[in-house]
A and B are shown apart, each in its own frame.
Chain A
Amino acid sequence: MAIKLSRSKKIRVLPGFKLTLGFTLFYLGLIVLIPLAAVFWKTSSLTWAEFWHTITMPQALASYRLTFGASLLAALVNAFFGLIVAWVLVRYEFFGKKIVDALVDLPFALPTAVAGITLAMLYSQNGWIGQLLEPLGIKVANTRLGVFVALTFIGLPFIVRTVQPVLEDLDPELEEAAASLGANRWQIFWRVILPMLMPALLTGFALAFARALGEYGSVIFIAGNIPMKTVITPLLIMGELDMFDYAKATALAVVMLVASFVMLLAINVLQWWTNRYNTHNLA
């Protein structure tokens, strides 16, 4: 016992390490890792040529273009408006601010199917918003624009919620210093505030983009699901599953999973960057 204690640098006073870590790994493996491994196991039943043929078929390519394009566009729009919303919520006082602040999380809390049918109804030809856009020649329901609208809805809170705390912690002295040196408000924003918000903004952007890539429920109702036009990749996978073509569905799922893992890696790097930036400021 004495030898053991002298060898380890820290003496563990608290109990339960083996129990909690063991349970964590067991549960993680059972619920997440083993089932996820099944995707790659199932794909191995395809030859490389079959796999390549499936993931590059015209419907698949069209769905990637739509899914990635609409997700990117939605995340960009959210980055712009999300920054304004975060700014307004942190810096200004106005009537009903607390309610607005709480309401920002609605896309997290509202089930995707409910969001889906609501957006589909609002933007249909006779819908509240659709009938306003109809005379302008803008059609949203059953078009790619509809996919973009749904993805904007579900990505909305990500930017606000990542930028907001950073903006709150921003040291006012930096802005005062810039102002005392003769910078105007726009210059201060562009050269002092925005560079400091950049890591958080990029993290929020990446989170919104990653969420939009896999989104299913809120999109399928408004998209109309016209083959080659408004079919997103998750729906294409669903279609193959309905035909019990598990090999095809799994091949497409591998493409989506790889994209998700790349995004996850990017988000981790961004968050590390954000945190480094913060501690750097404190020092």
Chain B
Amino acid sequence: MTPAATTFHTPHPVAQRRSTTESPLVRRLLIGVALAFLSVFLLVPLVAVFSQAFAKGIGFYFHTLSDPNAWSAIKLTLYAAAIAVPLNCVFGVAAAWAIAKFDFRGKNVLLTLIDLPFSVSPVISGLIYVLVFGAQGWLGHYRDAEQPWLPWLQNWLNEHNFKIIFAVPGIVLATIFVTFPFVARELIPLMQAQGRSEEEAARVLGASGWQTFWRVTLPNIKWGLLYGVILCNARAMGEFGAVSVVSGKIRGETNTIPLHIEALYDDLNIAGAFAVASLLAFLALITLALKTWVEYQHARQNQTKMFP
């Protein structure tokens, strides 16, 4: 490290680095603080879920999961997600197409409105459907209305005793609401950044609208779309607050997985609650892994586009 020695070697990077990075001590301290914070708030809870799930042994774990009420909760959760995710996916693609590929007035207002469900408390997300479809709500009033504007609808509703609140349709609706923006907000900035020149070129070369979408747009947005679907699905299966308002919590009938966890927890069956919770925690881990993988693929696709 003598001055004489350095002059004969390639310029030493140390002197240059010192001005734009921190000393090793500060660096280690910051890494330590960050890791300690993340350990307490993320790692410990994650480890706790799985260790509590198996606290009473593997036999009890599978006993809890094979309970008919647990099964019905799993089926209902999958059912609600299977309706909510594709619907919001179609909406997301349509909204992104309209917003990214065309110019029109009020675009910013529309963007804000699409994001609205994210800023509403889950409890209120459930409440609004109770107000529309509940016994005291619009539809409830409509059934008892003396002069309905569509008499056949009133008759139909009364004949079939059509229930939405405290039944499965309400759960599906609440799930759609809370996952509403996921795909759209992932696709809109992506498609805006990609512009419309590729699609326009395809059109000029004679492709139909559908061909343009399937062969040009979809390959460009596939990773963004998958990313949105993954996040949408995670939220759809894990939603608690909104679903808890509209479900009525009838065990074996209108309980989703998160509601079943709450029921077990309230019964002071803590190990049982964590056994079911471990399913959702496992889903969360898969979601994170998939998300990281998609981000990686997306970055790679962008790179090859820039440097072919």
Beta-carbon contacts under 8 Å, A120-152 to B: 121-122, 128-129, 152
B-side contacts of A264, CB under 8 Å: 112, 115-116, 119
| Cα–Cα, bound, A257→B115 (Å) | 14
A223 at the interface (CB under 8 A from B): no
Cross-chain contact A246 with B134 (CB below 8 angstroms) = yes
Beta-carbon contacts under 8 Å, A160-192 to B: 172, 175-176, 179-180, 185, 188
Known: A110-B281, A214-B123, A253-B123. 13 other contacts (CB 8 A): A16-B98, A20-B98, A23-B94, A38-B131, A88-B30, A88-B35, A92-B27, A113-B240, A113-B259, A156-B41, A188-B20, A260-B119, A260-B120
B190 at the interface (CB under 8 A from A): no
| Cα–Cα, bound, A238→B242 (Å) | 10
Chain A, interface size category, equals 35 or more
B91 at the interface (CB under 8 A from A): yes
Cross-chain contact B38 with A118 (CB below 8 angstroms) = no
Cross-chain contact B20 with A175 (CB below 8 angstroms) = yes
Shortest beta-carbon distance, A23 to chain B, in Å? 5
| Cα–Cα, bound, A65→B287 (Å) | 35
State the majority secondary structure of interface residues on A. Answer: helix
A91-B128 contact given A14-B212, A17-B98, A24-B91, CB 8 Å threshold:
no
Of the candidates A12, A14, A153, A268, the one whose C-beta lies within 8 Å of that of B45 is A153
Of the candidates A84, A107, A109, A118, the one whose C-beta lies within 8 Å of that of B34 is A84
B-side contacts of A25, CB under 8 Å: 110
Cross-chain contact A114 with B132 (CB below 8 angstroms) = no
Shortest beta-carbon distance, A43 to chain B, in Å? 10
Of the candidates A10, A24, A87, A118, the one whose C-beta lies within 8 Å of that of B30 is A87
| Cα–Cα, bound, A169→B292 (Å) | 20
B46 at the interface (CB under 8 A from A): yes
Cross-chain contact B277 with A117 (CB below 8 angstroms) = yes
A92-B30 contact given A21-B104, A39-B131, A172-B20, CB 8 Å threshold:
yes
Of the candidates B43, B97, B104, the one whose C-beta lies within 8 Å of that of A103 is B43
Beta-carbon contacts under 8 Å, B253-308 to A: 257-259, 261-262, 265, 270, 273-274, 277, 280-281, 283-285, 287-289, 291-292
A213 at the interface (CB under 8 A from B): yes
**20 A-B interface contacts by CB (under 8 A):** A14-B200, A14-B212, A16-B97, A17-B101, A17-B102, A35-B128, A38-B128, A85-B37, A89-B34, A94-B31, A102-B291, A103-B42, A106-B288, A110-B46, A111-B258, A113-B280, A118-B52, A176-B20, A188-B20, A257-B120
Of the candidates B104, B113, B234, B281, the one whose C-beta lies within 8 Å of that of A28 is B113
B14 at the interface (CB under 8 A from A): no
B-side contacts of A231, CB under 8 Å: none
A263-B119 contact given A14-B209, A39-B131, A129-B44, CB 8 Å threshold:
yes
Cross-chain contact A111 with B280 (CB below 8 angstroms) = yes
B168 at the interface (CB under 8 A from A): no
| Cα–Cα, bound, A176→B283 (Å) | 45
| Cα–Cα, bound, A92→B5 (Å) | 29
B176 at the interface (CB under 8 A from A): yes
Shortest beta-carbon distance, B78 to chain A, in Å? 14
A24-B98 contact given A114-B281, A118-B49, CB 8 Å threshold:
yes
Of the candidates B117, B130, B258, B277, the one whose C-beta lies within 8 Å of that of A118 is B277
A32 at the interface (CB under 8 A from B): yes
Cross-chain contact A91 with B280 (CB below 8 angstroms) = no
B218 at the interface (CB under 8 A from A): no
Cross-chain contact A14 with B102 (CB below 8 angstroms) = yes
B-side contacts of A244, CB under 8 Å: 136
Cross-chain contact B117 with A113 (CB below 8 angstroms) = no
**Nearest A-chain residue to B260, judged by Cβ:** A113
A270 at the interface (CB under 8 A from B): no
Task: Please provide the 8 A-B residue pairs with the shortest distance between their CB atoms, ordered closest to farther.
Answer: A111-B238, A214-B121, A179-B19, A216-B241, A217-B240, A15-B209, A35-B128, A38-B131
B-side contacts of A92, CB under 8 Å: 27, 30-31
B-side contacts of A61, CB under 8 Å: none
A112 at the interface (CB under 8 A from B): yes
Shortest beta-carbon distance, B55 to chain A, in Å? 10
Cross-chain contact A234 with B284 (CB below 8 angstroms) = no
**Nearest A-chain residue to B51, judged by Cβ:** A128
Beta-carbon contacts under 8 Å, A201-254 to B: 210, 213-217, 221, 234-235, 237-238, 241, 244, 246, 249-250, 253
Cross-chain contact A114 with B131 (CB below 8 angstroms) = no
| Cα–Cα, bound, A221→B27 (Å) | 37
A52 at the interface (CB under 8 A from B): no
A-side contacts of B79, CB under 8 Å: none
A31 at the interface (CB under 8 A from B): yes
Shortest beta-carbon distance, A125 to chain B, in Å? 14
B81 at the interface (CB under 8 A from A): no
| Cα–Cα, bound, A103→B52 (Å) | 20
**Nearest A-chain residue to B37, judged by Cβ:** A81
Shortest beta-carbon distance, A66 to chain B, in Å? 14
B21 at the interface (CB under 8 A from A): yes
B177 at the interface (CB under 8 A from A): yes
Beta-carbon contacts under 8 Å, B209-227 to A: 209, 212-213
**Nearest A-chain residue to B52, judged by Cβ:** A121
A119-B45 contact given A15-B209, A85-B37, CB 8 Å threshold:
yes
| Cα–Cα, bound, A263→B112 (Å) | 12
A-side contacts of B119, CB under 8 Å: 210, 214, 260-261, 263-264
